[in-house]
Every structure is written in structure tokens, then in C-alpha cells.
Amino acid sequence: TLVFSLASCHSTDLTNTPDQQLDQGFEAVKKGDYKTALKLWRPLADQGDARAQYNLGLMYRNENDIQNNVEAAKWFRKAAENGDVKAQHNLGMMYTKGDGVEQDYAEAVKWYRKAADKEYAMAQFNLGLMYRDGEGVKQNRTVAKEWFGKACDNGDKKGCLYYKKLK
């Protein structure tokens, strides 16, 4: 599941503070006004704000009016390189599926691992799948089970299920 990163400021006037610009972008998205959200988030993203970069990635990934997986991957990469754990996970998913980037399981593993090492349960689960299936890494069911266990410990129900099923 892709989730927008929300700042906790509420204002109706256009302002220049990053938190307020992010919040105004969310309000615009709720109304289906993606052009306004882009106008608010793009300057922040260009200045290196990982939250804005991640949210641009989500917009380009999910919104039919502007959907563009190449752009989504570009913004997820910028946010991922700036340490955004959700962007790291989403970029890993894009490499796994070949959406907006050339399919590359080793690159997917790299990004999943960055997020998994920060205790991001969905990335831990996906890293477990990569080890279970031998995609991008040497197949290792023991390591797969460890990652499924970590995902389970961090609240991922599928991680718990796969942990129990893997012998």
C-alpha cells in the first residue's frame, strides 16, 4: 500500500514554510487538484525535501491524470537517497516489477534492504520473498525466514504467515 507522508500543520493561506506547503498539497490532492499539489511540492522536492520527493513519486505512480512510472521512479529515487524509508521500499517494488525502470532484482534487494534495516515491515517481508525465491540474491530459505520473522515482529501479518509456513 502506498501512503502519502503527512505533515501536521493546517492552514488555508498559501505560505512558504515547507510543512504548510506539504499540508496544502495534501488538501489539493484530497480535492483532486493535482496541478496545485505539484506546484506546491515541486519547489520543495527540487530543494531536496524527501517528503515532497516521496509525495511526487506517489502522485506520478498513482494518479491517472498524471501517471508516469518513469517520473515516479525518479522522485522515489531522490527521496530514497535522502533516506525516506517508504521511498526506498517503493523503489524496490518498482525494480521488482520493472515499473518505470528496467527490472533488476539485485537493485530491488538493495533498496528493500535499506528500508528493512530501518525496521520497515513491508520491506522486510519483500526482502524475505527475494531470499525465498532467489531473486537478486542467492536463494536462502533460512535468511528468508529471518526476514519474515522480522516483518512479523514489526506487525506485518503476511510476514507472520510466511514465517510459519516456511520450513
Axis-axis angle for helices 121-133, 141-153 (nearest 10): 160
pLDDT (tens digit per residue) in 54-69: 999 999 998 777 889 9
d(CA 129, CA 70): 25
Do residues 85 and 94 touch, judged by C-beta distance below 8 A?
no
pTM, to two decimals: 0.87
Q: Which residues of the chain have pLDDT under 70?
A: 1-15
